[in-house]
Chain A
């Protein structure tokens, strides 16, 4: 077996070839996606939130959907991502990602092959099994036989990037590793090598210019006006409306009774000996808000902004949408339903209070796009504007694309602007993962993997050289 270095191409099939054993991991603020390369959807989608129960001396960690939705005493819901869109708590993040990979893809650590039963009975039959057992031998680390492709946000720090490869190599024991930016991958998923990628996720909105498969680092823009911001706006609307809209998560309700619109709820509530923590409640409230976003919230499609003269009146005249809270309270939302997401495009429209100041103008999506395009050579701009890829779960807000289209056309009236927004919800939500899946299953991608040998030789900063 020849020792690969940076100048020799690995032998075909060395890193499992086109087989589906390469794993693609796409961690995000809200969910962590993982799956085998070559498949069309991630098999494993786990919440990036985790539960923590502090006991006297040690803490118990809970991962995965099943564990964190059951109200338990002192259960706190946390997230390892920092406010700047970079992982903050590496230790737990590693555990969450490992959970995402092992729980649904590889299984928990396999037992010793001599005892796992696969080899049993061969002697009884007289003919030995002709199976290569080397691959499954001595497995102690979870990823020992799978190359790993991880996605990272475009603004990731050099330190964070090194951390990724350290985790993959040291803790998971992966034989080969690669790090790629979500923007590039999302573009690949749409079959584009160049374009502007608008990714509206949970914690951040980012705009990434990509040219020939390379991110223009200077041009990467991000802002916190994304899904969580919209949720927050909804909370403010609820709080400021008269009377206040009660936001009761499901776990508190035992059974509800039908009440008239706007009437106070008449539900039977559950009693807890130890009330669940605030963070748990907030996380469960988020589920209700997600439902609200799915079924009520709408973005003013244009023309013009919602605040433009006359538009509010039109919005008011549209029939409202009703929404029922878990405790039975229900109301019809008329023009209010346009307000939570309007500030993604128009900072003036943001609902504010003392704790939630007005977002800056340059944080709105149209301004982000403008700033990103500014960093690109003038002659490349038309090319990029023809390929505006829209991705991220929050772009599924109703009429998001109509509005975005309108905004971009009003900034760049003279170019041919084209939005590329996959109609399939899965493709929109998991675009970066899908791009990673395509990339990692390409035969020509093999030479890009950073092998374990290279890592051992050059250390963690090899990512800086190899994964641009």
Chain B
């Protein structure tokens, strides 16, 4: 009997932004059940930490009457009144949404604040509420040093009294998720990217690019911010813009919509449809006039906006209006606006429907010059709360300011929106949330700036890192396989188009095309040098991919390679039909065509994610690391049972101390 059961295993994968964890391995592996923002709030006593912001509130004691109800309604603003010893009317409330004053213990993958980090792990552990006999698998960031591994080992054994503890490199976990032994893993995190070449299940520590600063999701946000700052966008807005589907990274040198090149006819993705609708010449600018313009306040929108310049200018910073004491005024205005909008909708409903039908091709996002997204204004909510309004009034104000269509808000809430600031503890909170309780949503319109998230060289730098990583792999013959099995994961790469743009960048810079000088003399015979099962052809490192019969030495080198190819081909039972070779040979068909010499890459490909994880297919494989961790946990704790030292047990720890972990971790 295995020492551990599936349902006992804990997996924790800390990250700079989000820490994911799970207790128990389901029958079919699922994305992590527990997602926690990787931050804690300093408690009153120094060195202690709280998982949520605790707000001190000068509450009138009238509030508690409405509170129980309130709590039932509001899923996430749980208020706990802790009577303070000295003052009776000081209230503390836990604010689960606010991030004010939070401390993030992991930065660029490094643990910078250990006490905070340990508090975070403890919080995660307690949230999972595990039984006593629980092995733990920790996913280690590549940047953690061996000394830090020891420290962590000590912490887990001493604090949680865990019976068994294992540690696994994040990149290795990803390769387990994909079920491949050799791959190049690009893990794009919050502030950094890691690039690791894993060959034969062993990550290459030399030359591995660890924690490449300024190449994560945050860099994308900052790029957006630098473009949009002049338009009054805040960092938070850019962050949400980045996560919205309208933000997209276009492949390098794609003209932006609205620029001259973009409206040239050859840029229409669907010429046939365009021709039939006659929208060909229209371009995005024209398209926006036929009903794509966003509804909402601000200039250039559809519904009657006779707002003055003063208003449209301040529209982004509602929070300051609210706190500035002009709230009631503003609220009234918004209310009116909403009614008008509703009326306009009703009136124009039929027409609009007709118009929508007449518009057969909805332009893809990348062709539209402008688009809108729903912005969840936490800052506004925060400032509302700080004003000490009564809960009823607060809800009212919230409802008035909220522009998100109710239904939509519900939908978004339902699918959990994993990146939102809400701490979705399981799925419990998502569906029960009413739109009113959620953050205030507003529609914000952005222009082509939304395509410029990667404008600060992020892609180039990651591409260079990939090149460096693979070039530093000593086994030259492994390199082309590494190029052919790229994996991009990490939530920083979630931005639409990121992976494709990265691949395009790498290809345009590093791909080696077959040389016109050797195309006929070497491409074919080099394929034939594929080591056969018989081993007949194996010891021929001379047969480079392009190099042909380099150093056979003596007379044999003068043999016409084509002839040589033809004669040796007969012994090759593994060889694909030669017609195939010719067809696909240009892009480099097999890894083995690279023997020990020759330049790489001749082809660059993404690895296909595994097919057999239905739950993961839906959400995407950005967190493949966690999937790999589940696979690994199953293997090391249940299948292997410690025979190959996949984890450290309590007795091992007692014998060897924290330094022993190096003999056990994967």
- Chain A contact residues, CB within 8 Å of chain B: 19-21, 36, 41-45, 65-66, 69-70, 102-108, 110-111, 115-118, 120-122, 129, 131, 250-251, 253-256, 258, 260-262, 287, 290-291, 294-296, 298, 301, 314, 317-324, 326, 328, 330-332, 398-399, 425-426, 429
Contacts and interface: CB of A to CB of B under 8 A. Distances in A.
B211 interface: yes
Given A21-B659, A321-B598, A118 B151 contact: yes
A117 B146 contact: no
B88 to A, nearest CB: 28
Given A117-B117, A301-B553, A320-B547, 18 more contacts: A20-B659, A41-B206, A65-B468, A104-B205, A105-B147, A107-B148, A122-B158, A129-B158, A131-B158, A250-B510, A295-B597, A301-B551, A321-B544, A322-B518, A324-B512, A326-B510, A332-B515, A398-B551
Nearest to B525: A319
8 contacts: A66-B209, A69-B468, A104-B205, A107-B145, A111-B114, A120-B118, A317-B558, A324-B599
A261 B515 contact: yes
B145 A319 contact: no
B485 interface: no
A425 B115 contact: no
B154 A118 contact: yes
A467 to B, nearest CB: 27
Interface string B579-601: 00000000000000000111100
A20 B150 CA distance: 12
A319 B515 contact: no
Contact of A319 (B213, B513, B550, B659): B550
Contact of A322 (B147, B547, B557, B596): B547
A120 B517 CA distance: 68
A21 B518 CA distance: 53
A76 B284 CA distance: 46
Interface stretch (B92-100, B471-479, B532-540): B471-479
B47 A330 contact: no
Nearest to A270: B460
Nearest to B121: A117
Contacts of B597: 294-296, 321, 398
B599 A118 contact: no
Contacts of B550: 298, 318-319, 321
Contacts of A117: 47, 114-119, 155
A118 B118 contact: yes
A320 B119 CA distance: 62
A46 to B, nearest CB: 10
Pairs A-B, 10 closest by C-beta atoms: A117-B115, A319-B548, A255-B508, A261-B517, A322-B515, A425-B474, A117-B118, A321-B547, A45-B206, A258-B513
A157 B603 CA distance: 50
Contacts of A116: 114-115
Given A69-B468, A118-B114, A131-B158, A322 B546 contact: yes
Interface string B108-132: 0010001111110010000000000
A87 to B, nearest CB: 22
Contact of A20 (B118, B467, B662): B662
B509 A255 contact: yes
A290 to B, nearest CB: 8
A115 to B, nearest CB: 6
Nearest to A295: B599
A110 B159 CA distance: 20
B544 to A, nearest CB: 6
Residue among B457, B547, B662 with most chain A CB within 10 A: B547
B253 interface: yes
Contacts of A19: 659
Nearest to A318: B557
A373 B159 CA distance: 62
Contacts of A255: 252-253, 508-509
Contacts of A21: 659
Given A261-B515, A321-B597, A332-B515, A326 B509 contact: yes
A106 B510 CA distance: 35
Contact of A36 (B144, B146, B155, B512): B146
Contacts of A122: 158
Given A41-B205, A291-B599, A320-B518, A425 B475 contact: yes
A426 B475 CA distance: 9
Contacts of B235: none
A251 B154 contact: no
A331 B461 CA distance: 28
Contact of B47 (A120, A262, A429): A120
Main secondary structure of the interface of B (DSSP, over half): mixed
Given A19-B659, A45-B207, A429-B474, A318 B549 contact: yes
A108 B107 CA distance: 13
A399 B212 CA distance: 36
B400 interface: no
Contact of B476 (A106, A262, A294): A294
Nearest to A39: B662
A246 to B, nearest CB: 16
Interface in B549-566: 549-554, 557-558, 561
B521 interface: yes
A290 B119 CA distance: 47
B382 interface: no
B222 to A, nearest CB: 16
B644 interface: no
Contacts of B515: 261, 322, 324, 330-332
Given A118-B155, A294-B597, A319-B522, A256 B508 contact: yes
B547 to A, nearest CB: 4
Given A120-B119, A255-B508, A260-B516, A323 B599 contact: yes
Contacts of B461: 70
A428 to B, nearest CB: 9
A77 B547 CA distance: 34
Contacts of B467: 250
B509 A250 contact: yes
Interface string B312-353: 000000000000000000000000000000000000000000
Contacts of B145: 102-107
A292 B226 CA distance: 40
Contacts of B207: 45, 65
Contacts of A425: 474-475
Contacts of B89: none
A66 B471 contact: no
B464 interface: yes
A48 to B, nearest CB: 14
A41 B544 CA distance: 29
B587 to A, nearest CB: 12
B659 A298 contact: no
Given A42-B206, A45-B207, A324 B513 contact: yes
A107 B551 contact: no
A298 B114 contact: no
Interface in B141-164: 144-148, 151, 154-155, 158-159
Interface in B246-295: 252-253
B23 to A, nearest CB: 20
Contacts of A318: 549-552, 557
A256 B509 contact: yes
A43 B147 CA distance: 12
B211 A66 contact: yes
A120 B115 contact: yes
A64 to B, nearest CB: 9
Contacts of A254: 252, 508-509
Contacts of B476: 294-295
A108 B143 CA distance: 11
Nearest to A396: B474
Contacts of B205: 41, 43-45, 104
Nearest to A426: B474
Nearest to A338: B551
B468 to A, nearest CB: 7
